[in-house]
Amino acid sequence: MDREKRVKSIRNWIAGADYDLDTAKHMLKTGRYLYVVFMCHLTLEKALKAHVELHEDKFPPKIHDLVRLADRAGLIIPEDLNRIVLELNQASIPTRYPEDLQQSLTVYTNDYAAKVLQETEEVLQWLKAHPRIAML
């Protein structure tokens, strides 16, 4: 893929991450807390895939593991930000496919979802400000 198409693809990943974060904000307002967490995971997944594509110079793999994506991108995420990456990585399957919806709804509360959303936004800002992405 030529550079222009690669840059367009990377920018598209970032635009998707921004869109998903905005969706998470709307889900918080409507009380859909499980989906706030799900969309936060998706936000970071897309931002990390932008980094993977830039780092590997090819379309990123179709995986959802945030830790593996960060590793493939060659990123060292600061410890204070990496905590939410690890937390969301663990929430990926339960928020996509809850075994017990009612029980999940007691775990993913308004307070928890609001905290996850705020921390996800901080990680996204860091990923977007990273010199590799910011220069595009």
Which CATH fold would you assign to the domain 3-134?
Four Helix Bundle (Hemerythrin (Met), subunit A) (1.20.120)
Domain boundaries, the chain: 3-134
Tokens of 1: 């893929």
Contact 7, 48 (CB under 8 A): no
| C-beta neighbour count of 62 within 10 angstroms | 6
Two tokens at 47?
Answer: 């931002």
Q: Convert the pLDDT of each residue in 21-39 to its tens digit.
A: 999 999 999 999 999 999 9
pTM, full prediction: 0.95
Instruction: Using alpha carbons, select from 119, 94, 96 the residue that is nearest to residue 44.
Output: 119
Q: Please check whether residue 127 is in contact with residue 45, taking contact to mean a CB–CB distance below 8 angstroms.
A: no
Report whether 25 contacts 33 (CB < 8 A).
no
Q: Is the pLDDT of residue 80 over 80?
A: yes
